[in-house]
């Protein structure tokens, strides 16, 4: 019995799947570490020299790239997936209505694996047009703990474990786990504060004064270096500049994460209902008061953002804690169902419950080996390969970049398992993986951003310049070529369908959907 949870945790990790390096947000979060490790010419990249929001994570990346290689990135994420599963199991085992038999535990494991399995998400996208299982374990506004692969948000597993620890009467450990997550990713400061407030509220109601004091003291001790670093590194340059940078981040770069009017749709409404069901399910446990307090803080914070539309408030993401509350609710409700299924004496049912996780794990291997998810634009491959082979230390590349048109669609959906894009179609307004795929520095891209106010303004200016340059391909007529040369750009990558014109541009490579120009 002691080995069974580890077996199911491993099956969960395989069934969940993970992306190849480097995918989506990894293109931002691995950049500083790769530059510090001396990968290619990335140390010359502008963004790699901006203030680092995750210095501990970057130090880990740099160490691995210098001394070990890239395999720890996959291994650590696999361990995090197992830890997530085991933390939720610890939580469910502490519930009075959870599974108490081997059959019940197997049923719960099967339900949790089904809700997270890559092949199930793939099937949902193909059959229903959207990755709906994703919403059972991601929070509102597509905030998540487990993403497609290793990134700083994965440390949110400690917050999941904190909820389990508190239910199992380990309040000091719970506070330490919640606060400790911020040593890797400070975006969890507010979620941790919400949970710890809930923990302390229940301890005070129970008149556990010493435990409450010890929990609060440990939490403050752990978050203090994070707060000091952030205040010193990201303090406002001045009020006006800070306000403009906050507006750019909230309204230009990530409105799908910051604006409730943008991300709240019927799916988000279902998620809210699901979380409330989870809260109702734990109403007779010591977890009810902490979660009720947390839900109240989420509601108050979200209402404040919706009423004021204040950029700084919205960038606090008061709903980010739902990235933990959603998987907790899913695990709790699966535990309630498994507690009843576990009472069944049918040998056939038990056999099916054992087989399902195994089949999903095998399907997860198929998803990764056959490339059924995590698809990148194949049209970019040729130009990325060319630049990786030919880059020189003094090169600086300009790639397409522009601000996307504001979307009128509501809701935020996962693109992890969308259909493969047209292999001949270039990117709409960026080549997000250019830096890490080529190890060459670029002028700017839209996907990866800094967070210090002066650097946000510089990023915004650079994207605006790139957008203006590519808007008219006749660079001699517009004077764009002179600006490009003043910025030190040595090469330009442009879609073949947009041929650039200048006496000082020389085509150095034809790479399918893209053309590479050398700036004379």
Among 71, 63, 64, 57, which residue's Cα sits nearest to residue 21?
A: 71
DSSP β-ladder status, 491-495 and 505-511: unpaired
Q: What is the pLDDT tens value at each position of the chain, 520 positions in all? A: 478 899 999 999 999 999 999 999 999 999 999 999 999 999 999 999 999 999 999 999 999 999 999 999 999 999 999 999 999 999 999 999 888 888 888 889 999 999 999 999 999 999 999 999 999 999 999 999 999 999 999 999 999 999 999 999 999 999 999 999 999 999 999 999 999 999 999 999 999 999 999 999 999 999 999 999 999 999 999 999 999 999 999 999 999 899 998 999 999 999 999 999 999 999 999 999 999 999 999 999 999 999 998 999 999 999 999 999 999 999 999 999 888 776 656 666 667 778 888 999 999 999 999 989 998 888 899 999 999 999 999 999 999 999 988 777 888 888 899 887 777 776 666 898 999 999 999 999 999 999 999 999 999 999 999 999 999 999 999 999 999 999 999 999 999 988 999 999 999 999 988 999 999 8
pLDDT at 342: 60
Among 436, 393, 385, 432, which residue's Cα sits nearest to residue 61?
A: 436
pLDDT at 427: 63
The residue assigned the tokens 């969308």 is: 418
Q: HSE (CB half, 13 Å, CA atoms) of 192?
A: 31
Distance (Å) of CA 111 to CA 6, 13, 243, 278, 357: 16, 14, 46, 15, 9
Q: HSE (CB half, 13 Å, CA atoms) of 151?
A: 23
Among 3, 103, 12, which residue's Cα sits nearest to residue 350?
A: 103
Helices 209-234 and 189-205 pack at an angle, to 10 degrees, of 160
Q: Write down the domain spans for the chain.
A: 378-519
In contact, 320 and 257? CB cutoff 8 Å: no
Give the pTM: 0.93
């Amino acid at each position: 019995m002691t080995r069974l949870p580890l077996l199911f945790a491993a099956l969960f990790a395989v069934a969940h799947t993970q992306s190849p390096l480097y995918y989506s947000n990894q293109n931002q979060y691995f950049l500083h570490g790769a530059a510090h490790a001396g990968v290619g010419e990335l140390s010359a990249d502008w963004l790699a020299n901006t203030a680092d929001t995750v210095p501990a994570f970057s130090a880990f990346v740099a160490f691995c790239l210098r001394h070990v290689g890239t395999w720890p990135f996959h291994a650590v994420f696999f361990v995090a997936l197992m830890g997530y599963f085991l933390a939720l199991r610890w939580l469910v085992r502490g519930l009075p209505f959870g599974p108490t038999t081997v059959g019940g535990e197997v049923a719960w494991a099967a339900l949790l694996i089904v809700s997270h399995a890559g092949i199930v998400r793939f099937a949902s996208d193909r059959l229903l047009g959207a990755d709906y299982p994703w919403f059972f374990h991601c929070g509102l506004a597509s905030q998540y703990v487990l993403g497609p692969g290793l990134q700083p948000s994965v440390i949110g597993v400690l917050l999941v474990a904190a909820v389990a620890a508190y239910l199992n009467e380990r309040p000091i450990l719970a506070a330490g786990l919640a606060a400790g997550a911020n040593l890797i990713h400070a975006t969890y400061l507010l979620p941790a504060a919400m949970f710890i407030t809930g923990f302390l509220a229940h301890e005070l109601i129970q008149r556990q004064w010493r435990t409450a004091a010890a929990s609060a003291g440990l939490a403050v001790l752990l978050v203090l270096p994070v707060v000091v670093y952030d205040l010193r590194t990201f303090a406002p340059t001045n009020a006006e500049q800070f306000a403009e940078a906050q507006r750019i981040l909230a309204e230009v770069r990530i409105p799908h994460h910051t604006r409730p009017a943008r991300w709240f749709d019927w799916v988000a409404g279902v998620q809210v209902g699901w979380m409330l069901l989870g809260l109702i399910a734990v109403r007779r446990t010591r977890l009810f008061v902490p979660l009720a307090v947390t839900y109240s803080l989420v509601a108050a914070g979200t209402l404040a953002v919706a009423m004021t539309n204040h950029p700084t408030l919205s960038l606090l993401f008061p709903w980010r804690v739902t990235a933990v509350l959603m998987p907790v609710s899913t695990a709790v409700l699966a535990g309630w169902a498994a507690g009843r299924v576990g009472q069944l004496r049918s040998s056939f049912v038990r056999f099916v419950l054992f087989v399902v996780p195994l089949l999903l794990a095998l399907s997860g291997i198929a998803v990764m080996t056959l490339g059924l998810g995590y698809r990148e634009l194949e049209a970019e491959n040729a130009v990325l390969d060319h630049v990786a082979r030919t880059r020189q230390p003094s090169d600086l590349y300009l790639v397409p970049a522009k601000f996307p048109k504001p979307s009128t669609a509501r809701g935020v959906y996962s693109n992890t398992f969308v259909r493969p894009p047209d292999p001949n179609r270039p990117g709409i307004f960026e080549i997000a993986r250019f830096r890490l795929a080529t190890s060459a520095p670029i002028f700017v891209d839209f996907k990866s951003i800094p967070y210090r106010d002066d650097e946000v303004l510089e990023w915004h200016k650079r994207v605006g310049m790139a957008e203006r340059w590519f808007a008219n391909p006749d660079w001699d007529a517009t004077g764009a070529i002179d600006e490009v040369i003043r910025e030190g750009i040595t090469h330009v990558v442009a879609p073949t369908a947009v041929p650039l014109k200048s006496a000082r541009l020389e085509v150095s490579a034809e790479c399918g959907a893209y053309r590479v120009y050398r700036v004379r």
